[in-house]
A and B are shown apart, each in its own frame.
Chain A
């Protein structure tokens, strides 16, 4: 079974790939957009996680 972080990584990667193919035309643009969106998803999720941390105690 996947842990939550692994699920987050898979979700971020799949959605980034789909968005890249939906919005860009060339292969190099696909790759650049996928990497950018993937990192944005993961960093924002970790950032929001840290912001919510004080409320979990």
Chain B
């Protein structure tokens, strides 16, 4: 599309350029609350699906009294586990509030809970990356007109 046509359509040039700031803001929101990044980008079905998928996994992991690993972990696997857990964002920081009894690794359920909570975090990393990619792209209307 020529610049004249773009001007007629009411599109400013900046709107069409990829926005790293918008992508970063979407990624940050997606990290804090799973699905919020997509909600910010008005991708409602994805936002709802991600909110419930990651939220249910994180809450089930905590309810099964899974371990939430701290940053001060010494073991390499525990450090990896910490990074995975951190992916859940808000659920990581409020894990003590959500499950006041704390972790219980003495039963198999506690061990499963640890893995399920970590899986929620890793899943949310994929969601964060997708939110960043969508956020970076020019808005849909502009892209359609450019095609």
Contact = CB atoms under 8 A, between A and B. Distances in A.
A1 B53 contact: no
Interface string B52-67: 1110110010011000
A26 B52 CA distance: 19
Contact of B116 (A7, A20, A21, A27): A7
Q: How large is the interface on A (under 10, 10 to 19, 20 to 34, 35 or more residues)?
A: 10 to 19
Contacts, number: 53
A22 interface: yes
A4 B108 contact: yes
A46 interface: no
Interface in A1-57: 1-2, 4, 7, 10-11, 14-15, 17-18, 20-22, 27
Query: Nearest 9 CB-CB pairs, A to B?
Result: A18-B53, A14-B53, A21-B49, A14-B57, A17-B53, A21-B46, A18-B123, A14-B56, A17-B49
